[in-house]
Amino acid sequence: MIGCPEAPARPARRLLVAVAVVAAVVIADQLTKWWAVTRLSRGPIHLIGTLDFELTRNTGASFSLFQGQASVLIPVAVILVGVLLVMAWRAPTYGRAAILGLILGGALGNLADRLFRDDHGAVVDFVALHFWPTFNVADASIVVGCILLLVSLVRRPRPS
C-alpha cells in the first residue's frame, strides 16, 4: 500500500516528493528576495534583538567564501544539482527525498540569482543576525537540509 510504512518508496514518487519541496523552497526564496530587493533598498528593518532584515549581495559561496568567483560557482552548482537529483531518485525513503529537496531547492534558488539577476553573479541575502553571516531562505534550506541529511544518515532509515 502507498501509505503504509512498510511500502518501499518508488523512485518516481521519491523524485516527485523532492521536486515538490524544491518548488516550495524556490518559490519562497525568490518571493522573499523580491521583497527584500524592493523594500530593503530603502533601508534595513530592525526586528528584535540582533535580528534585522538588511539587503546585501554576496558574490561568493556560503560564509562569503570565493568572493567574485561566479564563473567557478555556477558550474559547481549545476553539478551539485545533478548529483542531488540522482540522490533524490535513489533515496531510501520519502523523508530523505524531502531532505534532498530542501538542499536542491536552496541550490537552485541561489543559482537562479547568479544566472538571472543583474547583480554580476551575486546572491541576494537579507537576514542579518550580526553574529552569523547574512543569509536568505535558500541558504537556510541548504543548512537545515544538510543537518537533517546527516541525522538521517546516522539513523537507520525505515523504508517509507
Checking if the pLDDT of 64 tops 70, the result is no
Full strand arrangement of the beta sheet holding 45-48: 45-48, 51-58, 123-128
Checking if the pLDDT of 156 tops 90, the result is no
Share of the chain above pLDDT 70, in %: 82
Q: State the average pLDDT over residues 148-152.
A: 94
Checking if the pLDDT of 4 tops 60, the result is no
Q: State the average pLDDT over residues 44-68.
A: 82
Q: Is 139 one of the annotated active-site residues of the chain?
A: yes
pLDDT of residue 144: 97
Residue owning grid cell 537533517: 148
pLDDT band at 62 (very low <50, low <70, confident <90, very high): low
Q: Is 52 one of the annotated active-site residues of the chain?
A: no
- 3-state DSSP of 125-160: EEEECCCCCCECHHHHHHHHHHHHHHHHHHCCCCCC
Computed from CA positions of residues 146, 75, 106, 48, in that sequence, does the dihedral angle turn out positive or negative?
positive
Entry pTM: 0.84
Question: Choosing from 113, 118, 119, 139, which is the catalytic residue?
Answer: 139
pLDDT of residue 45: 96
Of 78 and 74, the one with more pLDDT:
78
Checking if the pLDDT of 159 tops 70, the result is no
Cα 131 from Cα 22, distance rounded (Å): 28
Checking if the pLDDT of 34 tops 80, the result is yes
Question: Choosing from 29, 113, 118, 125, which is the catalytic residue?
Answer: 125
pLDDT of residue 6: 41
Cell numbers standing for residue 92:
531510501
H/E stretch holding 57: strand 51-58
